[in-house]
Chain A
Amino acid sequence: MSLTYDDVIAKYEPVLGLEVHVELNTKSKMFCGCSTIFGAEPNTQTCPVCLALPGALPTVNEKAIESTIKIGLALNCSIAPFSRFARKNYFYPDMPKNFQISQYDEPICVNGYVDVEIETDEGPKVFRIEVERVHMEEDTGKSLHVGGATGRIHGAEYSLLDYNRAGIPLVEIVTKIVPGTGKYAPEVARAYVAELRDILRSLGVSDVKMEQGSLRCDANVSLRLIGVDTLGTRSETKNVNSLRSVERAIRGEMIRHAELLNKGGRVVQETRHFQEDTGLTRSGRSKEQAEDYRYFPEPDLVPVAPDAAWIEELRAALPERPSIHRKRLQEQWAVPDKEMSAMINADVLDVVEATVALGADPTKARGWWLGEISRIANEKDVAIKDLAIAASDVAEIVALVNAGELTDKLARQVVEGVIAGEGKPAAVIAARGIKVVNDDSALMTAIERACAAQPETAQKVRDGHVPAAGALIGAIMKDTKGQADAAKVRSLLLAHLGQSEG
Chain B
Amino acid sequence: MIRNSASEMASKLANGEITSVALTQAHLDQISAVDKDVHAFLHVDTQGALAQAAAVDAKRKSGEKLSPLAGVPLALKDVMTQKGIPTTCGSKILEGWRPPYDSTVVANLKKNDIVILGKTNMDEFAMGSSTENSAYGPTHNPWDLTRIPGGSGGGSAASLAAFEAPLAIGTDTGGSIRQPAAVTGTVGVKPTYGGVSRYGLVAFSSSLDQAGPCARTVLDAALLHEAIAGHDPKDSTSINAPVPAVVAAAKSGNVKGMKIGVVKELNGDGYQKGVRNRFEESLELLAAAGAEIVEVSAPNFEYALAAYYLIAPSECSSNLARFDAMRYGLRVGDNDGASAESVMNLTREVGFGREVKRRIILGTYALSSGYYDAYYGSAQKVRTLITQDFNKAFEIADVLVSPTCPTTAFKIGEKANDPLAMYLNDIATIPVNMAGIGGMSLPSGVADEDGLPVGFQIMSPVMKDDRMYSVGAALEAALLTKWGAPLLSTIPALAGSK
B318 touches which one: A55, A56, A60, A99 (CB < 8 A)?
A99
B236 touches which one: A54, A59, A296 (CB < 8 A)?
A59
Instruction: For B199, give the chain A residue with the smallest CB separation.
Output: A57
B100 touches which one: A53, A153, A159, A300 (CB < 8 A)?
A53
Whether A56 lies near B199 (C-beta < 8 A) is yes
Whether A290 lies near B324 (C-beta < 8 A) is no
* Measured CA separation A51–B326 after assembly (Å): 10
Whether B233 lies near A59 (C-beta < 8 A) is yes
Interface residue? B490 (CB, 8 A): no
| Given A56-B199, A89-B367, CB of A299 within 8 Å of CB of B326 | no
Whether B199 lies near A87 (C-beta < 8 A) is no
Whether B202 lies near A292 (C-beta < 8 A) is no
* Measured CA separation A52–B322 after assembly (Å): 7
**In the assembled complex, which residues on chain B have CB atoms less than 8 Å from the CB atom of A51?**
327
* Measured CA separation A98–B206 after assembly (Å): 16
Whether B344 lies near A96 (C-beta < 8 A) is no
Whether A54 lies near B89 (C-beta < 8 A) is yes
**In the assembled complex, which residues on chain A have CB atoms less than 8 Å from the CB atom of B340?**
93, 153, 159
Binds A, one of B294-302, B368-376, B440-448, B464-472: B368-376
* Measured CA separation A323–B33 after assembly (Å): 80
| Given A57-B236, A159-B340, A300-B237, CB of A96 within 8 Å of CB of B364 | no
Minimum C-beta distance from B129 to chain A (A)? 22
**In the assembled complex, which residues on chain A have CB atoms less than 8 Å from the CB atom of B203?**
54-55, 300
Interface residue? A294 (CB, 8 A): yes
Whether A300 lies near B99 (C-beta < 8 A) is no
Interface residue? B315 (CB, 8 A): yes
**In the assembled complex, which residues on chain B have CB atoms less than 8 Å from the CB atom of A96?**
322, 326-327
Minimum C-beta distance from B222 to chain A (A)? 26
Interface residue? B80 (CB, 8 A): yes
- Say whether chain B's binding surface is mostly helix, strand, loop, or mixed: loop
**In the assembled complex, which residues on chain A have CB atoms less than 8 Å from the CB atom of B200?**
55-56
Whether B315 lies near A55 (C-beta < 8 A) is no
Whether A89 lies near B318 (C-beta < 8 A) is yes
In chain A, residues 276-308, which have Cβ atoms closer than 8 Å to a Cβ of chain B? 290, 292, 294-296, 299-302
What is the total of A-B residue contacts with beta carbons within 8 Å? 102
* Measured CA separation A95–B203 after assembly (Å): 18
**In the assembled complex, which residues on chain A have CB atoms less than 8 Å from the CB atom of B341?**
91
Minimum C-beta distance from A148 to chain B (A)? 12
Interface residue? A161 (CB, 8 A): yes
Whether B199 lies near A93 (C-beta < 8 A) is no
Interface residue? A48 (CB, 8 A): yes
Whether A300 lies near B328 (C-beta < 8 A) is no
Residue with the greatest number of chain B CB neighbours at <10 A, chosen from A53, A159, A294: A294
A54 touches which one: B87, B234, B344, B372 (CB < 8 A)?
B87
* Measured CA separation A221–B341 after assembly (Å): 33
* Measured CA separation A89–B205 after assembly (Å): 15
Whether B324 lies near A53 (C-beta < 8 A) is no
Interface string of A297-341 (1 = CB under 8 A from B): 001111000000000000000000000000000000000000000
In chain B, residues 320-341, which have Cβ atoms closer than 8 Å to a Cβ of chain A? 321-324, 326-328, 340-341
* Measured CA separation A57–B105 after assembly (Å): 14
**In the assembled complex, which residues on chain B have CB atoms less than 8 Å from the CB atom of A423?**
none
Whether A294 lies near B94 (C-beta < 8 A) is no
In chain A, residues 76-91, which have Cβ atoms closer than 8 Å to a Cβ of chain B? 87, 89, 91
Interface residue? B284 (CB, 8 A): no
Interface residue? B271 (CB, 8 A): no
Whether B324 lies near A48 (C-beta < 8 A) is no
Minimum C-beta distance from A139 to chain B (A)? 17
Whether A97 lies near B322 (C-beta < 8 A) is yes
Interface residue? A58 (CB, 8 A): yes
Minimum C-beta distance from A56 to chain B (A)? 7
Residue with the greatest number of chain B CB neighbours at <10 A, chosen from A51, A53, A96, A302: A53
Instruction: For A90, give the chain B residue with the smallest CB separation.
Output: B321
**In the assembled complex, which residues on chain B have CB atoms less than 8 Å from the CB atom of A60?**
236
**In the assembled complex, which residues on chain B have CB atoms less than 8 Å from the CB atom of A299?**
205-207, 237, 315
**In the assembled complex, which residues on chain B have CB atoms less than 8 Å from the CB atom of A97?**
321-322
9 closest cross-chain pairs (CB), A and B: A98-B321, A299-B206, A294-B367, A299-B207, A54-B202, A55-B200, A52-B322, A55-B81, A55-B202
A-B contact pairs, 11 of them (CB 8 A): A54-B81, A55-B87, A57-B236, A58-B236, A60-B236, A91-B344, A97-B321, A161-B326, A299-B205, A300-B236, A302-B237
**7 further contact pairs, Cβ within 8 A, besides A294-B317, A300-B206, A302-B237:** A54-B97, A55-B80, A91-B344, A290-B369, A296-B318, A296-B372, A299-B207
Residues in chain A within 8 A of chain B (CB atoms): 48, 51-60, 87, 89, 91, 93, 96-99, 153, 159, 161, 290, 292, 294-296, 299-302
